A and B are shown apart, each in its own frame.
Chain A
Amino acid sequence: TNLQQRRREGPAAALLWQKPRSAAQQRHSVTAILSKMAGADGDDSLYPIAVLIDELRNEDVQLRLNSIKKLSTIALALGVERTRTELLPFLTDTIYDEDEVLLALAEQLGNFTMLVGGPEYVHCLLPPLESLATVEETVVRDKAVESLRKISQEHSPVDLEVHFEPLVKRLASGDWFTSRTSACGLFSVCYPRVSSTVKAEIRQHFRTLCSDDTPMVRRAAASKLGEFAKVLELDYVKSDIISLFTALASDEQDSVRLLAVEACVSIATLLPQEDLETLVMPTLRQAAEDKSWRVRYMVADKFSELQKAVGPEITKNDLVPAFQNLLKDCEAEVRAAAANKVKEFCENLPEDSREQIIMTHILPCVKELVSDTNQHVKSALASVIMGLSTILGKDNTIEHLLPLFLAQLKDECPEVRLNIISNLDCVNEVIGIRQLSQSLLPAIVELAEDAKWRVRLAIIEYMPLLAGQLGVEFFDEKLNTLCMAWLIDHVYAIREAATCNLMKLVEKFGAEWAQNTIVPKVLGMANDPNYLHRMTTLFCINALSEACGQDITTKQMLPVVLKMSNDQVANVRFNVAKSLQKIGPVLDSNALQTEVKPVLEKLATDTDMDVKYFAQEAISVLALA
């Protein structure tokens, strides 16, 4: 009765009403349980378990937590019967603890079916989970609901009606909002497997919660509406769900209305095409024009799903104008969400009228967005706009999209330019990149010199791709200098990426190209007064030697590396050792023995311990000892 009373009041209240247990009392209760569990015959094998159980009561949260996490061990040791008769009541009784412990407990109980004796006894787990499902803390409650959903599948249909469904009902009519919120997530798991009378009750409970007094519960119900609709018979979807959907979609709180938009997708998928117009569309139209931007944002965000759910006809008649409005919305958030969907929306338009719809309805809006005042809108658009070229084909792309790409390539915001450049491959397939090259170059140059190193880094990563598409001549003429300039960037990450970039370029354009264009410049840096630049030479050699092959490595790179072994900066010297180790395998054995070995041996006697170390390492790896 004490427990029932506590359950009624909820755990938080129980905690506060509860008298603190004195240490002696606590010890007493634990030993009582221990002696009970360990048995009067002094069963020593249970001692470790007794310790774990003792720790369930420890003052230190961490110890309690550890013990809870080993709950399955305890249960396994006790056996199914004692787990049912002793451990579970004990847990149910000590449930008023730190949220962290409760979370662990809620999770554990979801995997407890076998430990209480299999599906036949799974209902024993319901009382503690029921209490956990009423806790104030959201994560605990959610975890308890998750576990309840899991074990509901392990109930037999009879047990589901005898044990599980009454629990759902109790939660659904709880005093405090937490239990009603939890109930919302449980209807759909038991509905398909109960008798029709119980089904009717469940529907009734769900209806009640959809018009609950507190917005928290209505939100929970709205977020489960789609899921619940899926398990209902079609007739009830039409008679029950639609009215609930309509009501929630016109709730006084926008936080409820926006969740109804999510449900709209599932509901529309369930209904036959001919019912959509009357049952769903009025609500959807209203949501797309809601006075709260949050709701409109949600519509924009779910637009592709909605489009698929309502089918081509309604898309043509309703969604196209709605999408146009969202693209022109007064809030940047909404416009950005809609801009993100432009490509997907166009792709999914019915083929017979796709081009016409895009050209007459969507493209004008897109044109406006290109010069939007908000950079996030432009950036969202830039990340998808290139995809339109494959849909519209070569001529339309050149005539209509190209000017937009060019405009975005000149945008003041680097993210916009970057998004365009990173999607160049889509355009390349349709019209070839050369159409863009005139504007591409200034954009790339500007990004290459952007003040933000992350922007520079991003553009470097697209270099190999661009090089491949633009061809070697264009590259040499326009981009080569950039690639070399990055090697002396003041940010290490850029220099590193630039080195890696060179390697990829050489892989693309071949060793001969490298020998003529890159290698001389890289080697030239070996005489730079800045030791960081001298080290970059070494890093480049590390990266390039393999791609350039033995000839270039031995004849051009090796002498430079060897010369640098006399550098006055120790960092350069030990990097010489590392480089020699790296390029060693590319060299022939003659060069190794006559040129590399003496230098490494000299470095191995260096005054600096790091130089010594790396020289010795190189000697042993190259087997020169």
Chain B
Amino acid sequence: MIRAVIVMNDQGKPRLLKFYHYQPVEKQHEIIRTIYGVLCSRADNVSNFVNAESIFGPDARLVYKTFATLYFVFVFDASENELAILDLMQVFVETLDKCFSNVCELDIVFNFNKVHTILDEIIVGGQVLETSSSEVVKAVDEISRLEKASNSIMRVPKSISAWQGR
């Protein structure tokens, strides 16, 4: 299974963090720092695979790829195919590209919860849900549409909170 999806910029600032095994905040940041340290020191002409056993325990592998100013990092265990994860990363980035039309770091910063929604349509609980970017875009568009529709209704402030009735 996939253990974590991390997007960070070339300064080591996290832009998207998703751990499929719970990690406390402090631990998450320690992990990011370690990974950033590893990625920074890697040359250009090397493979995209890093042995992550020291960070995530036995069997953990890490695949990373650089897109403009961003590092995309997937951490996973032996039950995933390294090369396929590389393709999955491609699917993820393609989807982002389609949703934000030419995605850049700022899009991800300001729309991080949309990015989360996109990721949730690709991976659930560390398992691959969907591999076709057009399918994902379709689902995400549907969610945005729903969101907007209910937002317009919600402009009117509610005086009674519905949840209290439950």
Decide whether A and B are members of one complex.
no
State the A residues within 8 Å of B (CB). Answer: none
